[in-house]
Structure 1
């Protein structure tokens, strides 16, 4: 996207003149000088199609220092000097970026009501969607330049950054997220080293990157993507993974397998949850209990006995009843097999008087 007007050209020239006057061309920074870094950030934003105000903010984002770069080029008392050079909107973006308390603000940035704390004033506010998207885009441009120019920084922070940008994906342009994947995804020897350090039973933090139409969930582990099949999402009963998890959600997973021949990492959320069948087996015998019909099939029904525990009842054992999904039935437990994960139950006989409040005998 080209600059909007001749006034825009003047703003870029004024910004660079002010940067030079404040010594940005002499300050050391990964990849050369601070000014060289700022020029690259602005160029990256331009390549992503950013509007002029955001590009100017990218060029000037270090003026007030940041949560990760303490040196400032102008004190906050002189904000009007920068605003006069680049315009009010661009200067407000520079302040937003500089003022961010990252530890506090990053986690909720993608949320509509996510709080944002000003590290200069300690005030907490909720930026608009437009401002949060601008902030995310500027953050990505800055961090990706650092990763591209500094291999040590990329090796240390690349994984957490890719997880962060995967969480922020709804805020980022397609070009920005594609750039993040290109720069931060591990390949070759780096990928092999990651896989060498991963084994069955490991517990890792990951971000749900994509719930595919064929119901496989992809998880960004930090430069390497794993996958999780439907049965591994939860012990709870559900039709689609999206009922339990959401794209962009950061969760803790257990590694089920590292298949080097297929270059596949298999993950599970369910493996880290208590098995509800074990708890049910300990307390499920003795007495009448109530279950809810979750679905019907031509040969019978499935009855939810407890959260995460279901039993199949053949139509021959329904005593002529035709229950529908949502109906409640009384039952007694006859047996539990944890290997086959089968629960054998007996349904209570329907009451002779449906108006009776007491359960019918089994």
Structure 2
């Protein structure tokens, strides 16, 4: 490593002011400081909390995403074999190596395209605008493929990444200035621009060849599988296909990184233990979703909405709820900044996610839209929290 570091350092004059490749200085600086400890420290920015370098903070988040990535690869291989055989009861741990290899072949190119295109756009902007490269895409580049169905074409991943980086971040000033989560912006763009590639039965299965096989997710199947009985027990038909334990482990179809609650929880422990993720946001998001789920269970009987019959706790286990609460809602740039604001931000986000699932049958997964909406509302929440504190102190001053 010392030899490599000396070699990289020896190239610095070429990219320094007055050098042949002066315009590419920040491209060189970004790569050099990613590989080795930078000689400077960050002086300003939305992520400043202590002396930890921003690149290292982003690296911790990427490490927290690795369990979800690895599980997503294996799960992709499993559901591909299920689709090929047409057998829903295919043992999950059989052919472990083959399933993991297939998932690696399908998922790794999506990760490579996401990073290559996203960092390419970042390099172009830092060269044109003459500022250091922003490190935020180290996380976004991993999140974008993890929130996608496995069958999304690579060119769509590239187009969505370009849209998210340019429109979702750079037009606002770059990392720390964006008002929307970059990865969810990419997913939202694809969902509304190419809906057939982001929903349906076949997009989750990985090269599905069995045309008669349904690979719908838990939420996608809810309307067709829940019994007509106007009680919460009417959900037994759906629960027989995807049990709570299956959903908790992640043995269900879905986007690459969102299926396993266990993998997401491992990531949550890493984020909380290192102080990178907000426990307030995670817990309040879960409690908000659980509370709204129970409310719908109470008022649902007799209203004829099958989604109201889904047990409240299942909303936390299926779809992108756990992944969104842990890795998306906790984004330090787009989430609320005040301690109290984080609680309200999380509660409203969880409630809205379940509300969209239940009340909009055309869009049974509400986490993406809920978090994007709360991203927009976060500054307003912080404003009112600060204003309440100011008014409380003014009242104390008057009575003093």
- Which category describes the TM-score, using the shorter chain as reference length? under 0.3
Instruction: Give the structure with higher Rg (CA).
Output: 1
Query: TM-score normalised to the size of structure 1?
Result: 0.26
More helix by share: 2
